[in-house]
Each structure stands twice: as C-alpha cells, then as structure tokens.
Structure 1
Amino acid sequence: MYVTAVVLLIVLAVVALLTFRGARQTAEAQEKADQLIASLEDAGARTPSQEAIVSVLGTDGGAVCANPNDALSRSVLLAQLSNGAAGPGIRPVIVEQRLFQGQRLIMEVYCPQYLEEFQQFVDDLKLTETGA
C-alpha cells in the first residue's frame, strides 16, 4: 500500500511539473506576442492575432530565429528576392527597405542576439526607399 501511494505521488508530481512548465512557456509566448504586436502597430503594419503569433513563433521565435545569419538561411532569403521567373530567367531585384522591417521586429523581440549581424547583412544589400 505504501509503495502504491509513493508511486502515485511521484506520478502526480511529474504531471504537476510538466503542467507548470507548459503554463509558464505559454505565458512567456503570449507576453512576447503582445510585445511584437505593439511593435508592429507602432510601425503601422497589420497585425495577426496573438494566438497566431504564439502558434508560429512560440517562445523562441521559431524559424525566424533558427540560425538567421547562417549561409543557408541567407541564400534562401536572397533567392526569394527575385523577379519570380524560373531557371535561366531568374534575376535579383532591388526591393524596398520595409520588406525586412517585420523580420527585424521579430528578431528584436525573440532573438536580439542575432539582430546586429542580420542588420549588417541587410545594410549591404542594395535597397530602395519606396516601391517606385
């Protein structure tokens, strides 16, 4: 009987610990999402719902903060800055500075340790002020 009680107590303690950790991460994700929403609104951008941001970015910034200054991540980003053609017709284009604004805001909230190096990379690109 004592063994059963101890085993049951250990199982309940593990469940309580996991539940507490999950609730803490959810609260942290919601807090970061609110901070990002405020930053996006200050920048004049349309904002997704808090739930959408939490599900995509979580507490760590998701794919945006997964090695943003890695060579592969940069090459994927540069490949997306093209004229949309395929094969030999693909050409790089000059894009607006505001194209990177959302990614910078996400990085400010979720992974500020990568922001300075990413900003240097963006500063080296040929960008335009407006879509003219």
Structure 2
Amino acid sequence: MIAPPVDRFHRSVGRLTTLLSYWTPPRFSAAASPLVEETVASLGVRSRTPVDDARRDTVGDNLQAVAQVFADLAADAEGRPRRPVPRLPDPGVLADQLVVLGADVVAAGLEPNVLDDLTARLDTLRASL
C-alpha cells in the first residue's frame, strides 16, 4: 500500500531535518554544489518564489531558500501575504524552521500532486547534501 502524499511529505521533511540536526556550523557554511543549487531553484519555480542566485553561495543559504519556499506555498494556499522567513544567527535552527514550515504547508491543504512534487524535490535535495 502506498502512503498518502501528506505522509510521504512529512517523512521527507523528517529525513532532511534529521540529517541537518547532526550538522555543525561549518557544514552549513560550506559551498553549495551545483546540484543543491539546481534543486532549490526548482523548488522556487514550483512556488513562484524568486530564488536569488547571488545569495545562495552556501548550503545554509540554500536551505534558507527552501524555508522561504515552504512559507510562500503555505501563505499562497491560505490567501495570506508572503512574508520573509527570518534568518537566525545559528544555522542549526534551520532544521526546526523546516519542520514548522513543512507542517504549515500540510495544514494549508495543498493538492496531493503538489505535495508529491515537493517530496520528490526534497528527496533529491537530501541526497545531494
């Protein structure tokens, strides 16, 4: 039996954030690979969030962009204005931000095909890290 899209999305966010929870600050400040940048850009296209390449030099920059994509998708689905996700000084909190914003995406009631697409892109991102 195949799990529903919501469950698959939750699992994907959980796998990514579990990986990030073991990272130290130097890992977040490492240069991002082209595959990471490409995957994050594709998430931005999905949410119509402009992803500024000039501000995505590091892995942490790219993960911050993913958090913004989640926030924008939830805001759009709920008919709320988009707001910037705060960038906190400790990069370790990105995992927590992604958990909370991922839950917001689910609560916003996105279509199953959108969740499936997001899940596939998150899985690709996690594999590229």
**Shorter-chain TM-score range:** under 0.3
Greater RCO between the two (CA within 8 Å, min separation 6)?
2
Alignment TM-score, normalising by the size of structure 1: 0.27
The TM-score with structure 2 as length reference comes to 0.28
Larger Rg: 1
